[in-house]
Amino acid sequence: MCGIVGYVGAHNASDYLLDGLKRLEYRGYDSAGMAVLTPDGYRLARKTGRVSNLATAVQSAPMPGRVGISHTRWATHGGVTEANAHPHISSDGVFAIVHNGVIENYANMKNFLLQKGYTFSSQTDTEALVNLIAYHYAKEPENNGKNRFVESVRKALLHVQGTYGIAVLCKDHPGEIVAARKGSPLIIGLGDNENLIASDASALALKTSRVIYLKDGELALVSDRSHRVITTDDETVQTVVHQIEIGLEEYELGDFRHYMEKEIFEQPTALHNAMRGRFSDDSSTARFGGLNIDPHELRQIDRILLCACGTAWHACLVTEYLIEKYARIPVEVEYASEFRYRNSPLDKNTLVVVISQSGETIDTLAALREAKRKGFKVMAITNVVGSTIAREVDGGVYQHAGPEIGVASTKAFTSQVLIGAMIALYLGRLRDMSYSDGVAFVEALKMTPDLVSEVLNISDKIHAIAKNYAHYEDFLFLGRQNMFPIALEGALKLKEISYVHAEGYPAAEMKHGPIALVSEKCPSLFLVTDGEIFSKTLSNIQEVKARKGKVIVIASDCCEFPDGLVDDLIQIPSCHDAIQPVIASIPVQLLSYYIAVERGCDVDKPRNLAKSVTVE
């Protein structure tokens, strides 16, 4: 959720800290700050609002120094103020800390430290931790053969309940950073005579492609030329250096106004990458190299449980529809945040699948761990290689969608839906789907990028429609069968980036309550496909028009509508049922994007939201 960047090396730390924070802006935040350690002590700068405010402050009062830590904060404990912004300095002036996560027992820690004479200047849980580190440092012997800095952090963390990703400086150890994680991602970037700490690989893009992923319960001592990792139980860890592919162009806007716009138009490429090398030689089924579960085991599966949060949960709903239709396996979809606290009865032959773009979503990670604790096989669909979820599951599928910077998910969502369709195909062919049906399915999947491009080519028309609806404050999104999850996703997108109240419903459920909202001030968007339910959806549209509601329809180009029934029609190519949700998602995304632009909203950084939710 928040962002951490730390630097130790031969160069001016503040330059790299600011660059890293700018690359982490997409994660969502409300304030930013940095601390640089100089021979005269800490230089601290903190500002509410954007990183640009911090950059202006640093420019006007330079912060020379070769070791520093920085942070973008998303408020949990305490309001959005400079006093609550990170970094925090211990009241004795020895330590500085930046922290992602939530310390659940901070109140008890704070009360204990107040009794010991430590003082507090913020409302944050983080300040309790930095003072607890200072407390243990004061107690730690200087010459016990161990690094006093490391030991004080390690012992303090033994008392922490909750989640954390931290980077810590110590005035007495000017060339070192201590980093640790539990439930919040943290990466060490290895450079030439310089090393970095970051919560996301994008912050390392300019400096290195060699990284070490810290695991939960690990703590690292990092200097300019070395690193050492131990556990909080003081056991040495043998680190593994990973090579990551960081294409700087993927993090640049290019000719686009916003990252969301860029990522919408990157979808043909993202979808192509999701399929690359994943079809059998005879093009009758999908194949996956990382499932780590053989076809015999998969044939024994009686039920599938899909877990996710937010947009990924909508991808689960589409996948449920496709697996049940094409593989004839019962599927349940759970909010990951609910699953971990339920005692849901699961058959022994249940396969659990979690979906998370970042691979770090805290509730999804907790659901994964709960399922594994109960002995179930767990697979994942995720976009980030080396993420915690990717490392902890039994097997899974990488999306290969490239970095998604915009907070509102677009290319990651359609990639997840497409992979869900491929899994439905794979499982169906293991069971009773015929060879010819498999070939037709694969042909449809391969057409998806080109069909998406066709829809993107009418973006100007969708923009023109959006201008007519940008002033409305309420919206209904309605669809049936596999279009219902896209209605939910459309409503979510509009809420996220334009702050318009929007609701998604099955079209047939409209008359069971939501129709009360229909009026001249509340437009309805219908997602319509041809086939047996077309006439039913047509009746739902007529019910809205009878109540003077405006109607936008996104429909297959083979659908015909009576004159005057539809106020605005967006036609999409007719296609195989399995890829309809992907194709229909594109105009929904564009419409939401253009409405937000017309309303003057900060599309890439919507208020109160973060890209990756790593706290409960």
Q: Cite the active site residues.
A: 2, 611
For the chain, count helices (H), then strands (E). Answer: 18, 24
Rounded CA-CA distance 615/364 in Å is 11
In which order are the strands placed within the sheet that holds 218-222?
Answer: 88-89, 95-100, 164-170, 177-182, 218-222, 227-231
Rounded to whole angstroms, the Cα distance separating 408 from 611 reads: 7
Residues in contact with 439: Cβ distance below 8 Å, sequence separation at least 6, in sequence order: 282, 283, 284
Q: What is residue 583's DSSP assignment? A: H
Q: Is 616 exposed, middle or buried (0-12, 13-18, 19+ CB in 10 A)?
A: middle
Rounded Cα distance, 564 and 548, in Å: 12
Which residue type sits at 232?
T
Pick from 173, 220, 172: nearest CA to 196: 220
Residue 292 falls in which region: left (phi positive, over 0), alpha (psi -120 to 50) or beta: left
- Determine contact, residues 501/495, Cβ cutoff 8 Å: yes
Residue type, 120: F
Minimal CA–CA distance to 584: which of 597, 571, 600, 599? Answer: 571
| DSSP secondary structure letters along 236-289 | B-----EE----GGGGS-TT-SSHHHHHHHTHHHHHHHHHTT-B-TTSSSB--S
Please state whether the peptide bond connecting residue 87 to the residue before it is cis, i.e. omega within 30 degrees of 0.
yes
CB neighbour list of residue 463: distance below 8 Å, 6 or more residues apart: 590, 594
Query: Would you give the DSSP letter of residue 530?
Result: S
DSSP codes of every residue in 387-400: -HHHHHSSEEEE--
How far, CA to CA in Å, does 401 sit from each of 243, 301, 382, 442?
Answer: 18, 29, 10, 20
Report the alpha-carbon distance of residue 409 to residue 421 in Å, rounded: 19
Q: Region of 525 please: left (phi>0), alpha (psi -120 to 50) or beta.
A: beta
SS3 content of the chain, % helix, strand, coil (to 5): 40, 20, 40
- Asked if 239 and 227 touch (Cβ cutoff 8 Å), the reply is yes
CA distance 118 to 110: 9
Torsional sign, CA 573, 597, 30, 203: positive
CB of 505 within 8 A of CB of 492? no
Residue with tokens 């202006």: 56
First-last CA distance in the chain: 11
Residue 409 Cα to chain centre, angstroms? 8
Residues sharing a CB contact under 8 Å with residue 520, sequence separation 6 or more, in sequence order: 548, 549, 550
Cα dist from 190 to 216, 245, 461, 518, whole Å:
20, 14, 48, 58
